[in-house]
């Protein structure tokens, strides 16, 4: 079990729906230069949201999932691959993943990315956000945040009252 408490001075990086949508569009502009892709593989669950946006922008209708569980809120446990890519989509990628696009919301330590890459070594791996440890695993990303930053996604958060800076 890797505890996030090992990471000193955690900073918060809240992302709104609007910002996330814009960052996904920016990611797609970059991916459009690299494709075309036969299919998108979303790493669940966080990758489902950017995968839908990227698929819409690139006109891709074949979408599969690789289901990985590792974090229990902010603590990372052992990685569990709950579901791999379907035989049909694996065939499109010729067994090595060539021409397939893997999408996730972020790479942090890179453990999830490494596992998925081992399943499809020639696939293109894109994430919206990247931390330094995970960055070498992704082919395309949009925004880098420091390793001691926790990204708060809009599907995990809600608007709430903030006390004023000067009480
Ligand atoms: O680079 P790593 O340190 O492996 O972390 C990155 C992974 O962690 C989060 O998923 P999580 O396991 O929390 O599951 P979820 O997508 O279902 O929320 C995130 O969506 C990435 O998939
Ligand atoms: N929401 C969220 N999940 C993560 N999983 C690994 N790192 C992060 C992060 O910074 N934010
Ligand atoms: Mg995830």
Residue 111 sits in a domain whose CATH number is 3.40.50.2020
75 part of a folded domain: yes
Ligand 3 mean position, distance from CA 163 (Å): 32
Instruction: Give the gyration radius of the chain's Cα atoms.
Output: 16
Render pLDDT for 24-61 as a digit per residue (tens, 0 to 9): 999 999 999 998 999 999 999 999 999 999 999 999 99
25 part of a folded domain: yes
* C-beta of 64 in contact with ligand 2 (< 6 A): no
> What are the residues whose beta carbons fall under 8 Å from the beta carbon of 25, sequence distance 6 or more?
53, 57
Task: Report ipTM (2 d.p.).
Answer: 0.98
164 part of a folded domain: no
pLDDT at 92: 94
Render pLDDT for 110-155 as a digit per residue (tens, 0 to 9): 999 999 999 999 999 999 999 999 999 999 999 999 999 999 999 9
158 part of a folded domain: no
d(CA 137, CA 111): 9
d(CA 64, CA 92): 12
Ligand 1 mean position, distance from CA 166 (Å): 36
* C-beta of 71 in contact with ligand 2 (< 6 A): yes
131 part of a folded domain: yes
Instruction: Judge residue 49's burial from the number of C-beta atoms within 10 Å of its C-beta, 0-12 exposed, 13-18 middle, 19 or more buried.
Output: buried
4 part of a folded domain: no
Please list the helix, strand and coil fractions of the chain in percent, rounded to the nearest 5, in that order: 30, 30, 35
2 part of a folded domain: no
112 part of a folded domain: yes
Q: Total domain count for the chain?
A: 1
Structural domain harbouring 30: 12-152
Residue 143's nearest CA partner among 23, 56, 50, 48 is 23
């Amino acid at each position: 079990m890797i505890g996030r408490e090992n990471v000193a001075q955690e900073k918060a990086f809240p992302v709104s729906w609007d910002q996330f949508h814009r960052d996904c569009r920016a990611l797609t502009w970059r991916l459009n230069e690299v494709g075309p892709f036969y299919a998108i593989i979303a790493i669940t669950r966080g990758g489902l949201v950017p995968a839908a946006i990227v698929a819409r922008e690139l006109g891709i209708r074949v979408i599969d999932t690789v289901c990985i569980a590792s974090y229990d809120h902010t603590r990372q446990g052992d990685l569990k691959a709950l579901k791999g890519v379907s035989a049909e989509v694996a065939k499109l990628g010729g067994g090595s993943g060539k021409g397939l696009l893997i999408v996730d919301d972020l790479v942090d330590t890179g453990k999830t990315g490494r596992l998925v890459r081992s399943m499809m070594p020639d696939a293109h791996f894109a994430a919206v956000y990247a931390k330094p440890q995970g960055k070498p695993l992704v082919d395309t990303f949009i925004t880098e945040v420091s390793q001691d930053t926790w990204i708060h996604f809009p599907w995990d958060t809600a608007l709430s009252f903030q006390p004023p800076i000067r009480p």
